[in-house]
Amino acid sequence: MNLVTLFDAISLFAIFLAVIIVWKHWKSIPWGITKLFLAALLGIKLYHDFSNVLEWSGITSALDVVEDYIEILVPLIWGAIFYVFLQEIAKRDLYNSREQFRSLVESSLDWIWEVDREDNFVYASPRIKSLLGYEPEEVLGKSIFEHMPPDEKKRVMEINKANRVNPQSFRSIEVVYLHKEGKTVILEANGDPIIDQDGKWMGFRGISRDITERKREEERKKLLAVALASAEVEKKKSEELAQAYEALKRTQAQLVKSEKLSGIGQLAAGVAHELNSPLSGLLSLLKIYRKKTKEDSKQNQELLVMIQAAEYMSNIIKGLTSFARDSRGEFTELSLNVVLESTLIFTYHQLVQKKIEVIRDYAADLLTVNGDRSQLQQVVLNMITNACDAMPEGGKLVITTKNSEDENESIIEFIDNGMGIERENLPKIFDPFFTTKGPGKGVGLGLSISHGIIKEHNGEILVESQPGQGAKFTVILPKKE
């Protein structure tokens, strides 16, 4: 017995042992093709080892024919085994694919559906139960329009009718369904046409997603936006009403002040009537005495100052009368530089006593204006008086005249370095009877009268100020045409 024969004997023993083990565990071996493959493999191996043993023993002639047949059958058997193996693989892949598809469909939060050419359901995923309350079997074979409200059914039919002529994919189509319990559910549908191998349209396949909460949230946001817009409108109306009320209060206050002004006007008219006669007599006597003095004498100059002061007093009385009666003064061509200087003469002693330094900066080519001399002097006097009151400890008053850039207006600027004006008081600074001075120091008519005079001259008066940084009053008058 050589080594090869001994190996064949051992191999034969091993194959018999393998057959016994496979037989013992046959039922626990999975998948039928595995069992067939093992059986064929063990059979061929058993034949091969058994034939080697017989050849070793010398008994071979009786097996020659069988061996020839087996050599023919073995490839056929292997081919059959391979074919069955491939079939099993294909079945297993198909099974796995179906299981995978079923798992995806059943776990999807969207409803997957399929309808035929007649718009009847041929497939509905289990998700329909949680969306509409129906089991899939309850809708199969039924029309897609069966569970829609009448108006929605009509609308969707029109959309579907257009799509049946030339079936195309559709996206984000909102459809309202009726739940089994009667409530409405809004779904967003996406679908594609089903085309068979011959290119024939067979229906639609798609998915639908529940957007009911999203639509309700959008509706809530719209209602909130409308409510906010309405609230904003109401707020605006309320603010306008408050503004109108404040305007009404201001108008009422102005009417009261107008009544006061009317009373003051009547009083001024009476005072003017009582003072005018003696003042006229005094003025006539002063003029007579002046004529008796030498023109270049000191007495003549002093009498001239007294006459000018008396005339100024007469003009003030006329100004009060004009303010009360809304009468227009005598307008002539004037130089504002002359008006300023003639007024400063009367205020010289007041400025010196209050330690106010006046700095003049007059334009030599200042345009002339058409105005009433006494009224404009009154405005200048009020500007100077206010500046003095704003500088109780003394200070500087800069008076500047200039032409506007377009050479159409003459401008006077009064700039002091006094205490300034509070911001909240600026809009009321020209109102009648408005004053920030203490009792007995003013009734709030100076700036109001000045404002009225400048308006009568077709001009304007402006104010700029900050607390602690002085004030700037600007008088603008049109040039004489």
Q: Report the distance separating Cα 57 and Cα 54, nearest Å.
A: 5
Query: Is 86 exposed, middle or buried, given 0-12, 13-18 or 19+ CB atoms closer than 10 A?
Result: exposed
Q: Per-residue pLDDT tens for 364-374? A: 999 999 998 88
Tell me the backbone φ, ψ of residue 25, rounded to 5 degrees: -105, 20
Between 209 and 433, residue with greater pLDDT:
209
User: What pLDDT is attached to residue 138?
Assistant: 92
For the record, the structure tokens of 461 come out as: 């008066």
Chain length of the chain: 481
Residues 44/38, Cβ–Cβ less than 8 Å? no
For the record, the structure tokens of 323 come out as: 């303010």
Asked if the model's pLDDT at residue 75 lies above 70, the reply is no
% of the chain beyond a pLDDT of 70: 68
**Looking up tokens 């020209």, which residue turns up?**
430
Residues 323/374, Cβ–Cβ less than 8 Å? no
Specify which of 33-37, 91-95, 255-259, 378-382 reaches the highest per-range mean pLDDT.
Answer: 378-382
Confidence of residue 4 (pLDDT cuts 50, 70, 90): very low
Residues 376/339, Cβ–Cβ less than 8 Å? yes
Q: What does the domain layout of the chain look like in residue ranges?
A: 3-105, 108-210, 328-478
Q: Which of 198, 200, 121, 208 is nearest to 167 (CA)?
A: 200
Does domain 108-210 fall under CATH 3.30.450.20? My reply is yes
Q: Which of 38-52, 106-120, 209-223, 440-454 has the weakest average pLDDT?
A: 38-52
Amino acid identity of residue 365, one-letter, is D
Residues 391/356, Cβ–Cβ less than 8 Å? yes
Confidence of residue 475 (pLDDT cuts 50, 70, 90): very high
Asked if the model's pLDDT at residue 116 lies above 70, the reply is yes
Q: Which of 76-80, 90-94, 231-235, 336-340 has the weakest average pLDDT?
A: 76-80
Contacts with 369 (C-beta within 8 Å, 6 or more apart), sequence order: 333, 334, 336, 410, 457, 477, 478, 479, 480
Q: Report the distance separating Cα 60 and Cα 53, nearest Å.
A: 10
Q: Per-residue pLDDT tens for 335-361? A: 999 999 888 877 888 888 889 999 999
Residues 84/35, Cβ–Cβ less than 8 Å? no
- Region 328-478: CATH code: 3.30.565.10
User: What pLDDT is attached to residue 33?
Assistant: 47
CA distances from 330 to 74, 276, 370 (A): 142, 19, 10
pTM over 0.75: no
User: What pLDDT is attached to residue 306?
Assistant: 86
Two domains, one topology: 108-210 and 328-478:
no
Between 316 and 4, residue with greater pLDDT:
316
Strand 395-403 relative to strand 356-361: parallel, antiparallel, unpaired? parallel
